[in-house]
Structure 1
Amino acid sequence: MKSLCNKAEQEYIKQGKNYWESYEEISLQTDIILKREKWQQGAIPREFEHNLAFLYARAFLYALDAFDKFLGVLSREENVPEVISELHKKISDIFPDIRGVRNTAQHLEDRSRGLGAGKNPKPLDLKPIDNSFISAPNGGALVLNSLNGSKYGSTMADGHYGEVDVCPESMSHLQEILNNILGSFKWRGPKQHKPSV
């Protein structure tokens, strides 16, 4: 770092610039050179690594929401076993905040401005929050894109804070529901073992 700084200093002095007047620019250029060298060596910026957990949490949330929507459509089709409607309701019981949290993740442009949902969204009435991460007993806290342990959460359109647990137990619930869905139908054809190798 020191040699980079010395190089930058010498370049500025060659150009006839005063070191002390150019100190901030020298520091910035040194920082840029150092970071680019580290990135070329494979270093990943801390901000990128930090955001990976949020990307995975949102991917899980969107996949869960899509699964729920597909199951809702399937439950209304003709000649579908009645248990499908029960399994669809089970998702709502296990993940009661799924739709509200997903909608906020999808509509951050409104929530970040303190607005609810709809064509003419109304201002949010922020409800109290009290968990291991946030204590706002009188309300007033707008939470977006939050991870509280394994729980991905945000303020929903109704002003309440909602969470979806992104954990192995949640995946187990989904696996059980999917197995029950597949087992409720009568299948024809040769047996197969999936997924492939």
Structure 2
Amino acid sequence: MWVFELVVPGVWLEMEDRQLSWEVEGLLRHLEGSFFEANTALNLFHQARVIDSQDPSHSHDDWERDRARRIEIQNALIQARGGLSHDHYMEIHFEAEVIHKREKWSQGRVPRELQHNVVFIYARAFLYAMDAFDKFLTVLSKTAGVPPELTQLSNKMNEHFPHLRGVRNSAQHQEDRARGLGVRGAKIDLKPIDNTMVKAPGGVLMLNCLNGSRYGSTMADGHYGEVDVSPESMACLQSLLLEVLNCFSWKGPKRHLPSG
């Protein structure tokens, strides 16, 4: 488990305008919340990848046992019906398959589709938490009366994660991207892709992909973008948040997060 720590310099902001102080403190709390949500998603993503890689259905021995059990169920069905005609073969085969699946599920086996989807769900959760962090930081940087350094930090976020907004938008609008549509229904001009997963000089539409730990999709501008669901991304987010917190003057004792 990865735990990314924060040291908040104080308890309250030292600002003359109490209304502004209250608003800014609220935005900072939301930044912290998005940060720890990303940390949570990262850990769950990593755990899900480990479980997915250990799926017993990947084992040849398990495949053979499953095949033998299906044949056993099928033979029992044939015997119960007093034999098998050619016309009923596919029906018996289908019924045996269904019985076998339900038997495995009752014993705790998770269907491949459900297990495989867990990794993608947590990858998108990480993406959405990062996007929320970015949005709160943008709003904070544009708030009148805050330190001007926040604008630079907001720009840093975009520099470190240049594909964040585009990948997030594609994740939220897959119904458009799947039809090759970008912003306001414009046709996407697909750009070349050359990475460890795909080499397509003429471009290809890709949605909801995992390239190692990198979650990616074709973006509205036709380029393929990725966001790395990794401790390195979290460390970058941690550094940015600490810089944001240290931009302000604080009152009260410093605090260590997360709580014990």
TM-score, normalised via structure 2 length: 0.69
In structure 2, the partner of 1:130 is: 194
Letter matched to residue 251 of structure 2: R
2:72 pairs with 1:3: yes
Q: Which runs of 5+ in 2 are unaligned?
A: 1-68
1:61-86 deviation line (CA, Å, top 9, x unaligned): 11111100010000011221122111
Q: Which runs of 5+ in 1 are unaligned?
A: none
1:109-147 deviation line (CA, Å, top 9, x unaligned): 0000111112xx1211111111111111122x1011111
Runs of 4+ displaced beyond 4 Å: none
1:168-188 deviation line (CA, Å, top 9, x unaligned): 100100011111111222222
Q: Which has the higher contact order (CA 8 A, sep 6+)?
A: 2
2:214 pairs with 1:151: yes
SS across alignment from 2:186: coil
Contact 2:78 2:84 in 1 (8 A): no
CA distance 1:46–1:57, shift in 2 (3 Å)? same
In structure 1, the partner of 2:236 is: 173
1:3-58 deviation line (CA, Å, top 9, x unaligned): 311222234x25xx843211111111111111111111111111222222211111
How high is the sequence identity, in percent, across the aligned residues? Answer: 55
After superposition, residues 6-17 of structure 1 pair within 5 angstroms as 6-11=75-80, 13=81
2:97 pairs with 1:31: yes
Q: 1:114 aligns with which of 180, 187, 197?
A: 180
2:205 pairs with 1:142: yes
Letter matched to residue 196 of structure 2: S
2:135 pairs with 1:66: no
2:150 pairs with 1:87: no
RMSD of aligned C-alpha atoms? 1.6
SS across alignment from 1:110: helix
